[in-house]
Structure 1
Amino acid sequence: MRVLVTRPAAQADEWVQLLRDAGLQAEALPLIEIAPSGDARALAEAWQGLHRVALVVFVSPNAATCFFDGRPEGAVWPDALVAASPGPGTTRVLRALGVSTVVEPAADSPQFDSEALWLQLAQRDWQGRQVLVVRGASGRDWLAERLRERGAVLQFVAAYGRAVPALSTEAQALLQAALAAPDQHLWLFSSSEAVTNLQTLAPHASWSGTTALATHPRIAQTARSLGIGRVLEARPSAEAVVACIQSIAL
């Protein structure tokens, strides 16, 4: 069984190598295209105002990468500034970028998401404190709503945009192979948007014979709504994903 990793290209390559190191067949088939924000002014203003904020929430690895890629000349990340991350992938990127203080979900959290991150933030005093949320052009506002309810003053900056990708010749061949032999392929979904983009890329496909592995219940529900016949769920940790795939292969 060949695993198709649907994350954006940078993260897909990382996961493909991880799965191959575990002895699995894996290929990258990114179903979300990431593009840096075209609003350099908004990013520059966000960087210049970092000294006023108590927390910067990065919603994904792409948010962190694109925010730092858009750093204006001379701007620095304040040493004492706290960053918030929804999971280990984003945390790894932030550490590599030189961010020393990162709040993230507990390592044994059932999920790595906004709800798990809030458990680490809920006991702090947010009344009147400024919080910057770095995200895509749109996104889920659940965590921002919780912070606002606790009195935080929210700011948002879009560091990147997401779109349905234009598939390369190689990616198109992978898609066609998966459609022709669904029993020989496993779709690995880490985003509901990847599922909906797949439907856009193959609008007339039948998914009843397809198997997918989703790393969050919301993603699993989206996959089922697409008509995918067998949808499994696993924690979004590498160990859990590998173990689940290995159990399917056996």
Structure 2
Amino acid sequence: MIIEPRLLVTRFAPHAERLANSLNDSGCFSIAQPLLTVTELDDPKTLDTFLSGYYDYVIAVSGNAVRYAQQQINIDWPKACYLAVGQSTQNILNEVTVQDVLCPLTRFDSEGLLDLDELKSIKNKRVLILRGEGGRDLLETTLIERGAKVDFFQTYKRIKIDLNGHELVNNWQQASINGAIISSVEILNQLFMLVPKEYTSWIDELIFYVPSERVAKQAALLGAQHIVLLPSLHTDQIVEFFKVNNGNCI
């Protein structure tokens, strides 16, 4: 059975609106509804250590982590081996560091990063992970197991937006929303927390478009029955994905 996608875009603002507008312009009905917002965190001690050139490797796990770090940096980024979890983050990191940034070719998650040759032999190397508050334990754990010294530069924290779940789900149902673009585990969890229990069957039947196996696994644990891996979180690639595939998973 072919399903014409009618999408809920849950990314942070303003990215949700930009993606929804691009999808609508391409003929794919979409509604933007950010579920979380972010606010900057200050960590002067780690920032000073970073800017001193102390770290051999710097890993960015999100575009927001890079953007909020850049707001605190008034000089050139130090020389290091820079890596990014996905292509969108890679593009942002390339721009601010003016250096080549490595990125997985296919799997855009912690496992993809850890499979890069550059992170396989890092004994006694100093690694800084740019991220939001909380984050990816697998990345830290595995790097430490490989002998690296790992620190974090937490540049922002996520904040839940106060929303009316009943009202929103009614609006989404009236718009015949049948799919949701989810960019992170945190946003996925927030969506399931937002939707009232009486709508459990509705959310379980949504098609979840996710960027990584990590998010896909969590969606399955929460009860999602239809999960599709996106090629990237880059707006142009998502739009092209729905043009070519029509978003079909059934």
Distance 1:20 1:28 in 2: 11
Contact 2:61 2:84 in 1 (8 A): yes
Residue 32 of structure 2 corresponds to 28
How many percent identity over aligned positions? 27
Give the Cα separation in 2 of the matches to 1:246 and 1:76.
43
Q: List runs of 5+ in structure 1 lacking aligned partners.
A: none
Do the aligned partners of residues 189 and 244 (structure 1) sit closer, same or farther apart at CA in structure 2, a change above 3 Å counting?
farther
Contact 1:6 1:194 in 2 (8 A): yes
CA distance in 2, matches of 1:8, 1:224: 22
Aligned to 2:201, the other structure's residue is in SS state: coil
- Within-5 A mapping of 1:101-116: 101-106=100-105, 109=106, 111-116=107-112
Structure 2 alignment gaps of length 5 or more: none
Select the residue among 8, 12, 16 that pairs with 1:12.
Answer: 16
Deviations 1:186-209 (A, max 9, x none): 211122221221233333341313
Q: Secondary structure at the match of 2:199?
A: coil
Whichever residue aligns with residue 188 of structure 1, its letter is: I
Q: Residue 90 of structure 2 aligns with which residue?
A: 91
* Residues 215-224 or 237-246, more deviating: 237-246
CA RMSD of aligned residues (A): 2.9
d(CA) in 2 for partners of 1:60, 1:173: 31
4+ residue segments displaced more than 4 Å: 171-175
Matches of 2:167 and 2:46, distance apart in 1: 38
Superposed CA deviations along residues 99-133 of structure 1, whole A, max 9, x for unmatched, are: 31211001xx1x31111112224565312111111
Alignment coverage as a number of residue pairs: 238
Aligned to 2:227: 232
Query: TM (normalized to structure 2)?
Result: 0.81
Distance 1:245 1:183, change over 3 A: farther
1:177 aligned partner, one-letter code: N
Task: Give the distance between the partners of 2:35 and 2:245, measured in 1 at CA.
Answer: 20
Quickly say closer, same or farther: Cα 1:234–1:187, change in 2 above 3 A.
Answer: same
| Match runs of 1:108-127 below 5 Å | 109=106, 111-122=107-118, 125-127=121-123
The partner residue of 2:183 within 171, 178, 190 is 190
The structure with higher relative contact order (CA 8 Å, sep 6+) is 2
Amino acid at match of 2:114: W
Q: Which moved more, 1:60-69 or 1:2-11?
A: 2-11
TM-score scaled to structure 1, two decimals? 0.81
Residue 137 in 1 paired to residue 133 in 2? yes
